[in-house]
Structure 1
Amino acid sequence: MDIFNLVIIAILIAFTAFFVASEFAIIRVRSSKIDQLVEEGNKNAIAAKKIITHLDEYLSACQLGITITALGIGWLGEETIHEILSPLFQLIHIPETAVTIISFSLSFAIITFLHVVVGELAPKTFAIHKAEAITLLSARPLIAFYKVLFPFIWVLNGSARVITRMFGLKPVSENDLAHSEEELRIIVSESFKSGEINQSEFKYVNKIFDFDDRIAKEIMVPRTEIISLEQASSLDNLMEVIQGEQFTRYPITDGDKDHIIGMINVKEIMTALIRSKDLSAKKLDSYIRPVIRVIETIPIHDLLVKMQKERIHMAILMDEYGGTSGLVTVEDIIEEIVGDIRDEFDMDEIPSIQKVKENHFILDAKLLITQVNSLLSIELDDEDIDTLGGWILTSNYDATEGDILTFDSYSFKIIEMEDHHIRYVEVMKMREVEELPETAGQRQLAQSAVSTSEAEIV
């Protein structure tokens, strides 16, 4: 009889392990992985999908199973172990009064150890490490158990819901397992640290998270830097501009940059030139294509969708007064995710951030205040302005080349201007300013124009 009871106890502990492992596995398993297996036709995955989409019910089933097996182990276990140990204690002449106490204590300790370690702790660890495999293996048996004991589960689950609703809680569902953006950032960061994704993938994912927070004004080519052509210009004028600028698309104006009527694509004109051989007498009018006009505060995600829908690669941004504030191309938007895209004509392009040495940078004045704050770990005020150059002019509207502003522990020196437009700023820690020769910043900038490899690009 004792042997039969021991077998029953072993079976109950095995069932406890099954329910514990199933409970932890279905909570931890990734829904996206199960969806992938469902698409591949995995039958166990179909059952698993049913469980994780009705998580509250099947967690209740697991809890009921654990409770039933625990009660069975407690009912049979202590009495069985007591009956096995009592004769042994009598053989070594332990007093009868002490046999009951000692055997009960040992029985309780042994059963508790087996139940906790074999029935719960070990299965929990296996489920955490092998959540997907255990979910697939346990899905069908768990569904069968749920169907057999459905009335009891329904009553118990309903009673639990009444209590939880008194505290304003809702039943657990698959959607409750969704991750917030901050949680996803942490997951991606941990995946990068563990080597599951590489640095480029880590960078792209983080840039995508920032993508929805950016507006077109932050990435635009400002009005002062727009290269445009007059509607009345000849193709000869266009060829002169192309030789100097080497862009693919140019906005076309009717008077000034506040009246941009469209754009031309150099590829289209070059194709026509190859076909007709003589375009010298033609005007630009026949090659003008529509251009998108949007407010400068439009989110770049919305602008990209609009450009894709209308198949137009250039958008003119308007300020609150209806004037042109800048332009954005599809390439400008894509660069927000993948970083700078440079072609064979960008070899002499100077990066917006050049690291000379630790705490010493040459920065493009168009760099956003938020980027400067992130780079230097400071808090420049960006409530009314967007760029580093704008911050300097706001602080000193009479700023000239060579002027220095200080903020926190950094100095900001204007090292290149074009008319009233600040182009480049040298930034360094205050304690390092006196160590650097007066013209070091200008010298670094000139060298970078020839070869960016002499400065570390960040």
Structure 2
Amino acid sequence: MSNDRSPDSPAPADTAPAWADDSGEGRELPQQRGLLGRILDAFSGNEPEPEAVDRQQETSGARGSALGMLNLRRMRVDDVAIPKAEIVAVPVSTSLPELVEIFREHGFSRIPVYRDTLDAPLGQLHLKDLALKFGFGADAPPFALQPMLRPLLYVPPSMQIGVLLQQMQQKRIHMALVIDEYGGVDGLVTIEDLIEQIIGEIEDEHDEIDGGLLIAEKPGQWLIEGRAELEDVEADTGLRLTPDEREEEIDTLGGLIVMLADRVPEAGETVTHASGAVFEIVASDPRRVLRVRLRMPPAPEN
């Protein structure tokens, strides 16, 4: 989920969400001229020609970003949304200790709040609002969740991700629920999910392994980021991990583990490689393996 800091406006406590409301927050907001502004210029057709980009920016990273911007037009919300079954959300009756535990367990900065079922969403709760009002030893009023809720966007699965990105920027609402044809919730998208389709994966600062993508914990055991290149992992461990017939299809350790398990395994699961090496999943999310503990296969007995 996104860890952005943009201030969403608080939602009225008893106001039901409107479908794809284009009214914004009651005022026009100035266009941002940073990265997000340039991304939206690219989507609207105001970006320079690719040849001009090559002349002005010589780094391979700049070219990669230009290619990623194509996703703004060709990818739909349904391509990037987290499925309903994997959404972390809470009922409006949730207590303060329960909320604190949920934020601590999942590490999100915001979560949807609903009445009765997720198909009746009320808004989103931001961790910052909870902390400022009820944390830091404050002399807080009696706990009430609904007055702290901020609005959500509600979008169809067929919407282009560039259109959703524009709406998120204009309305300063950085979480959207995907609504199916019957009005039920089908998935969830954050602004970070959209930007990752353009510039690549965004790692939270607390997700980084101190010292790099791969560190040796003890002989025969490593803690490795899922995005580590397979060739680097093979060079450090001496293992041959990639099947010859799939060598060109798999680039990262996380991708290899998903291929071996035929799904994204959850934290705490183990996956065994044909070499006998064991991958323990330390952290994952619904779409990728984030961190792995690799244990070498036992030495053969003499």
- Tell me, yes or no, whether TM beats 0.5: yes
Find the counterpart in structure 2 of residue 311 from structure 1: 172
Q: Is residue 2:285 matched to residue 1:443?
A: no
Q: Is residue 2:89 matched to residue 1:253?
A: no
Identity over the aligned pairs, expressed in percent? 24
1:299-338 Cα shifts (integer Å, max 9, x gaps): 0111011112221111001223332221111111122222
Find the counterpart in structure 1 of residue 17 from structure 2: none
The correspondence of residues 215-294 of structure 1 with structure 2, limited to 5 A, is 215-273=76-134, 277-279=138-140, 281-294=142-155
Find the counterpart in structure 2 of residue 328 from structure 1: 189
1:414 to 261, 265, 272: 261
* 3-state SS of 1:232 partner: coil
Rounded Cα–Cα distance in structure 2 between residues aligned with 1:228 and 1:354: 34
Rounded Cα–Cα distance in structure 2 between residues aligned with 1:351 and 1:280: 43
Q: Residues 202 and 312 of structure 1: is their aligned pair in 2 closer, same or farther, counting only changes over 3 Å? A: same
Answer whether contact 1:246 1:345 (CA < 8 A) is retained.
no
User: What TM-score does the superposition give when structure 1 sets the normalisation length?
Assistant: 0.39
Answer whether contact 1:295 1:318 (CA < 8 A) is retained.
yes
2:242 to 319, 336, 360: 360
Q: CA deviation at 1:415?
A: 6.0
The correspondence of residues 37-436 of structure 1 with structure 2, limited to 5 A, is 184-185=49-50, 187=51, 191=54, 197-273=58-134, 277-279=138-140, 281-347=142-208, 351=226, 355=230, 360=242, 376=249, 412-414=259-261
Rounded Cα–Cα distance in structure 2 between residues aligned with 1:223 and 1:217: 11
Which amino acid is the alignment partner of residue 87 of structure 2?
A: I
The structure 1 segments of at least 4 consecutive aligned residues displaced by more than 4 Å after TM superposition are: 356-359, 415-419, 423-426, 444-448
Which amino acid is the alignment partner of residue 268 of structure 1?
A: D
* 3-state SS of 1:331 partner: helix
Stretch moving more, 209-218 or 299-308: 209-218
Q: Residues 207 and 258 of structure 1: is their aligned pair in 2 closer, same or farther, counting only changes over 3 Å? A: same
Q: Which has the higher helix share?
A: 1
Unaligned runs of 5+ in 2: 1-44, 210-223, 235-239, 284-289, 295-302
Which amino acid is the alignment partner of residue 181 of structure 2?
A: E
Q: CA deviation at 1:222?
A: 2.0
Q: How many residues align?
A: 211
* 3-state SS of 1:360 partner: coil
Rounded Cα–Cα distance in structure 2 between residues aligned with 1:425 and 1:297: 35
User: What TM-score does the superposition give when structure 2 sets the normalisation length?
Assistant: 0.57
Q: Residues 292 and 335 of structure 1: is their aligned pair in 2 closer, same or farther, counting only changes over 3 Å? A: same
State the superposition RMSD in angstroms.
Answer: 4.2
Q: CA deviation at 1:347?
A: 3.0
Rounded Cα–Cα distance in structure 2 between residues aligned with 1:263 and 1:277: 22
Q: Residues 451 and 339 of structure 1: is their aligned pair in 2 closer, same or farther, counting only changes over 3 Å? A: farther
Q: Residues 347 and 353 of structure 1: is their aligned pair in 2 closer, same or farther, counting only changes over 3 Å? A: closer
Q: Which has the higher strand share?
A: 2
Rounded Cα–Cα distance in structure 1 between residues aligned with 2:293 and 2:116: 39
Answer whether contact 2:177 2:187 (CA < 8 A) is retained.
yes
Which amino acid is the alignment partner of residue 437 of structure 1?
A: A
* 3-state SS of 1:443 partner: strand
1:339-392 Cα shifts (integer Å, max 9, x gaps): 11122232379546863669928xxxxxxxxxxx9x639xxxxxxxxxx9xxxx
* 3-state SS of 1:301 partner: helix
Stretch moving more, 220-229 or 295-304: 220-229
* 3-state SS of 2:188 partner: strand
Rounded Cα–Cα distance in structure 1 between residues aligned with 2:81 and 2:115: 21
Q: CA deviation at 1:294?
A: 0.7
Answer whether contact 1:236 1:280 (CA < 8 A) is retained.
no
* 3-state SS of 1:312 partner: coil
Answer whether contact 2:82 2:189 (CA < 8 A) is retained.
yes
Which amino acid is the alignment partner of residue 319 of structure 1?
A: D
Rounded Cα–Cα distance in structure 1 between residues aligned with 2:101 and 2:205: 19
Unaligned runs of 5+ in 1: 1-179, 362-372, 378-387, 389-400, 403-411, 427-435, 453-458
Which amino acid is the alignment partner of residue 261 of structure 2?
A: I
1:392-417 Cα shifts (integer Å, max 9, x gaps): xxxxxxxxx99xxxxxxxxx542667
